[in-house]
Amino acid sequence: MFTVFRMLLMLIHFSCDLFAAFYNYCMILHRKCIEIWYNENLRTETDMLTRAAKRMKNLPRHVVIIFGAKEDTICDCVRIIGWCITLGIPYISFFDINGFLVQNENLLKYELAKRRPDLVEHISWSKPNAGFTQNGITDSKPKTRVSLLCPLDGKQEIVLLTKTLAEAVVTGTIKPEEIDIDLLNEKLNSRGIPDPDMGVIYGRFCSTYGVLPWQTRITEFYTLPLHNTLSAKDFTYLLEKYSKCEQRYGK
């Protein structure tokens, strides 16, 4: 009986690997079709993005990119920031579970300034719980606000808020009946940015890795299995899917 179960388990693993290989092959084929459709060789990447944006009925205001456990994502971030600025997307967030991007924020800024110096003046770097103004001065130029997120900004943030509210109730600072959805929204959305409209998950597994669980209740998530070769065509394709989706908000 043990041998039978072992053979069955091996068969299941083989079937899963076969399905993953077939899925990846389909994704590669799809990329080739998209490349032929857009004919990227005949126009610049910026022109392709601009033309695609004109065909879409709506674009997300806030896109969150989920790298999961993948590191060495600096170059990916630089490209995606450039695409969002070209498309006029005002908010872009990047998340990885190891905190790689948060720890290497200066490296990201350096690579961005080196590879795309034309983008620097169009970016506002977001800090946790920080607004748009600095020293009382507000920049009037429209900028794309870039946020770097780690697990501390997800479930752990809710845990810390729960502890803080519990301590406030014990000390009498706040009454239990004063704790409601509006208060939680205020505390958890203190960064001053809208909830993500669209999420892009890198990797074969459709997992949000706990990114902003309170703020992603109605976020449309999409997966890019072949994350090492992300291109503007892939990003445009996902934006077109988002543009066609209809959110009913549970109705």
Most confident of 72-76, 93-97, 205-209: 93-97
Give CA–CA dist 7/200, Å, rounded. Answer: 37
As beta bridge partners, residue 125 has 146
Average pLDDT over residues 144-149: 90
Q: Is the dihedral of CA 110, 112, 114, 120 positive or negative?
A: negative
Residue 37 has pLDDT above 60, yes or no: no
For residue 133, pLDDT over 60 is answered with no
Q: Tell me the pLDDT of the chain averaged across its residues.
A: 77
Q: Given this model, what pLDDT does residue 136 score?
A: 39
pLDDT above 50 (res 48)? yes
CA distance 16 to 190: 43
34 falls in which pLDDT band (50, 70, 90)?
Answer: low
Q: Tell me 221's DSSP state.
A: E
210 pLDDT higher than 80 = no
Strand order, beta sheet including 62-68: 123-126, 144-149, 91-96, 62-68, 198-202, 220-224
Q: What is the pLDDT of residue 69?
A: 65
Question: Within 10 A of 233 (CB to CB), how many other CB atoms are there?
Answer: 20
pTM: 0.70
